[in-house]
Amino acid sequence: MKHLRIAALLAAAVLALLPAPAQAATYPDPVRITGQQIIHDPTVIRLNSGEYAAYSTGGVIGARLSADGRHWNDAGNAFASPPSWWYQYNDTGDPWAPDISYRAGRYWLYYAVSSWGTNHSAIGVATSASGRPGTWTDQGKVFSSETTDSWNAIDPAITSAGGRLWMAFGSYWTGIRMVELNRTTGKAISGATVHHLATRPDAPYAVEGPYILKRGGHYYLFASYDACCAGVNSTYKIRVGRSTSVTGPYVDSAGRSLLSGGGDLLLAGHGRYVGTGGQSVFRDRGQDWLAYHYYDAQDAGTPKLGLNRLAWTASGWPRVA
């Protein structure tokens, strides 16, 4: 018995020296919403009227409206019909991944037109005094890419920095890029330098859907990594890096460059919430909110709207709350 007790004590001592088993990452569920929940690649804003608007991929830029940010109603589309120039980029005039912002007394809605698997793509812009569906006037093409380019002009995201206007964009084709825009027209300046912000070291360089948020002395680049658009088989997840310059270099909290595959994991699929991505950030009553889509594993993989408040650590990094 003495030998057994000694053996047990030795075994316990060895186990105490071993590293603890890795714990699976846990993420908070999105806030509960009601009404029309189906959405893909959402961009959300609180309008000057006090109403919330969400625009998305689907339809002629699908629209949702809400009085409180929790109960959402289908509000049709941004446009009654596709502008004719969209058909240069796909046969159905199908727009993708809009981005809404407010500047110079009006709302600006950027969007992409393209076809799956090609970088023959373009980003356009429309303006509105109210930001409501049905009030948008298309202003035409902002920037484009062709099959000879190493970037893809989709997934626009607009940010201001130092009195200048910038547009991040990109998907695969070496990842996330950025160009400067003319503040008056909202379109790419002539001969704009195409800056490189993020990519992956492994083909097919699966990073896309940028969004850039200015907070304190840093610009934060949020992007979607891995595969979307496959329902419950989607592997989308959201990563983030930051820079003191809007054009980079962007690094994660360990100092790894986002041009070398870095990026802190902010949100990944969990439970019924599969393939979290297509994200944007909006500010409401002094709080930052992350808007994204997920594929509902309890509803045949239907894409739905996810909303989570963003909290910030003492060292200045976002986390999903």
Task: Give the side-chain half-sphere CA count within 13 A for 60.
Answer: 18
Per-residue HEC secondary structure of 62-114 comes to EEEEECCCCEEEEEEECCCCCCHHHHHCCCCCCEEEEEEEEECCEEEEEEEEC
3-state helix/strand/coil string of 150-161? CCCCCCCEEEEE
**Taking Cα atoms as reference points, which of 162, 213, 211, 212 lies closest to residue 183?**
162
Dist CA 219 CA 247 (whole Å): 9
Active site residue 41: yes
Alpha carbons 28 and 306: distance in angstroms, whole number: 11
Q: Which two tokens stand for residue 82?
A: 């596709």
Alpha-carbon distances, residue 182 vs 148, 190, 245 (angstroms): 25, 9, 19
- Asked whether 272 and 208 are in contact (CB, 8 A), the reply is no
Nearest to 161, CA basis, from 93, 54, 246: 246
Do 290 and 281 meet the contact criterion of CB atoms below 8 Å apart?
yes
Cβ atoms 239, 186 nearer than 8 A: no
For residue 178, how far is the Cα from the chain centroid? 15
Is 208 in the active site? yes
Catalytic residue among 41, 94, 99, 264: 41
Q: Which of 94, 99, 180, 208 is catalytic?
A: 208
Phi, psi of 232 (to 5 degrees): -70, -10
Phi, psi (deg, nearest 5) at residue 235: -120, 15
Residues marked as catalytic: 41, 208
